C-alpha cells in the first residue's frame, strides 16, 4: 500500500482519504483545478478543485442511477441534454438507448472532456458517437434560448461551490423545465441526505413549484462524502413509470429492486424535509 494519500475535505466536519500510487494529471485550467490519480483499489480517480468526481471502481452507482431513472420513464426518448458530465460516464449510459437520436452535452471546461477520454477509457470515448453534440459553454447561457426541446435533461454537476452555485438556483431549474418537453424528465445531482438537508429541502421546494412529480432518491458511491449521494427527479410523469421497463443491456449497479428502493428515505430525512 502506498503512503501517498488523496485527502478530500468538502465539509468542515468530515474528511476522507484514498491511497494512491501515481499522479497522472495535475492542471489548473481557466475554470478549475483538475487532477487524476491512479489508485490500487479504486483505479483512476478524477478530482476537481480537490473534490472527488468519479473513480473507475464505483462510478456506476452514480452514472447508472442519474441516467436510467429518468430515461426509463420515457417511451423511446429521442433527445437528451446532459449539463456537465464532461468525463463521459453519463453520456455513455444515455447512448445505450437505440431510440436516442440527439445527445447534447454542455460542459464548461473542455479539459474535463479531454481528461475523461484519456484516463477513463472504460467509457469508450462516447463523444465519437454521431448522435453526440458537444457544447463547450456555460449551461446557464446555453439554456436561455431553448424551449420544449428535450425528452430528458440530466444535470451531472459538481457540488454547489464557486461557479457551480448558480446550477442550484430557482432560475436554473426554471430554465431546465422550460427546455423540457411537457412530460419529459429531469434528474439533478442533489447532494447527501446526512450533510445537506437544507439544500435538499430548498431544491425539493423548487421542484414542487415547477412540476407535478418531484422526488428525491439516492445511491451508494463509497468515494463520495458519507458513502452516497442523492438526486432530484422532476417531471410531470411519475418516477414509477420507469419501473419494470426493459433495460438497454446489462447493468453493473442498477436492478429493479434498487430502482424502487432508491426512493425510500429514512424517517429523520423525511421529517427534516417536511419541517
Cell of 220: 451508494
Active-site option among 49, 58, 151, 156: 156
Beta-carbon contacts of 112 under 8 Å, excluding residues fewer than 6 positions away, are 34, 48, 86, 87
Q: Which residue segments constitute the domains of the chain, with CATH numbers given?
A: 4-55 (2.30.140.10), 60-274 (3.40.50.150)
- Indicate the burial class of 234 (C-beta count within 10 angstroms; 0-12, 13-18, 19 or more): buried
pLDDT value at residue 101: 98
Q: Is 156 a catalytic residue?
A: yes
Q: What is the pLDDT along the chain (275 residues), one digit of tens a residue?
A: 678 999 999 889 999 999 999 999 999 999 999 999 999 999 999 999 999 999 999 999 999 999 999 999 999 999 999 999 999 999 999 999 999 999 999 999 999 999 999 999 999 999 999 999 999 999 999 999 899 999 999 999 987 666 667 778 899 999 999 999 999 999 999 999 999 999 999 999 999 999 999 999 999 999 999 999 999 999 999 999 999 999 999 999 999 999 999 999 999 999 999 88
Whether 265 and 226 have beta carbons less than 8 Å apart is answered as no
Q: State the DSSP string of 108-158.
A: S-HHHHHHHHHH-GGG--GGGSTTEEEEES-HHHHHTT--S-EEEEEEE--
Amino acid at each position: 500500500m502506498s503512503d501517498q494519500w488523496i485527502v478530500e475535505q468538502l465539509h468542515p466536519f468530515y474528511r476522507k482519504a484514498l491511497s494512491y500510487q501515481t499522479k497522472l494529471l495535475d492542471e489548473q485550467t481557466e475554470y478549475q483545478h483538475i487532477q487524476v490519480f491512479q489508485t490500487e483499489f479504486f483505479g483512476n480517480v478524477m478530482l476537481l478543485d480537490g473534490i472527488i468526481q468519479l473513480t473507475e471502481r464505483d462510478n456506476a452507482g452514480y452514472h447508472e442511477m442519474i441516467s436510467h431513472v429518468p430515461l426509463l420513464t420515457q417511451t423511446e426518448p429521442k433527445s437528451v441534454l446532459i449539463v456537465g458530465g464532461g468525463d463521459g460516464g453519463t453520456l455513455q449510459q444515455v447512448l445505450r438507448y437505440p431510440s436516442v437520436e440527439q445527445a447534447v452535452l454542455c460542459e464548461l471546461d473542455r479539459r474535463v472532456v479531454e481528461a475523461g477520454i484519456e484516463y477513463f477509457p472504460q467509457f469508450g470515448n462516447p463523444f465519437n458517437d454521431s448522435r453526440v453534440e458537444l457544447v463547450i459553454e456555460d449551461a446557464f447561457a446555453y439554456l436561455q434560448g431553448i424551449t420544449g426541446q428535450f425528452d430528458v435533461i440530466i444535470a451531472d454537476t459538481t457540488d454547489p461551490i464557486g461557479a457551480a452555485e448558480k446550477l442550484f438556483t430557482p432560475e436554473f431549474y426554471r430554465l431546465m423545465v422550460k427546455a423540457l418537453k411537457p412530460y419529459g424528465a429531469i434528474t439533478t445531482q442533489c447532494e447527501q441526505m446526512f450533510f445537506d438537508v437544507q439544500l435538499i429541502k430548498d431544491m425539493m421546494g423548487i421542484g414542487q413549484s415547477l412540476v407535478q412529480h418531484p422526488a428525491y432518491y439516492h445511491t451508494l458511491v463509497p468515494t463520495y462524502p458519507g458513502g452516497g449521494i442523492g438526486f432530484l427527479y422532476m417531471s410531470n410523469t411519475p418516477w414509477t413509470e420507469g419501473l419494470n421497463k426493459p433495460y438497454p443491456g446489462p447493468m453493473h449497479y442498477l436492478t429493479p429492486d434498487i430502482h424502487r428502493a432508491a426512493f425510500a428515505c429514512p424517517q429523520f430525512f423525511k421529517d427534516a424535509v417536511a419541517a
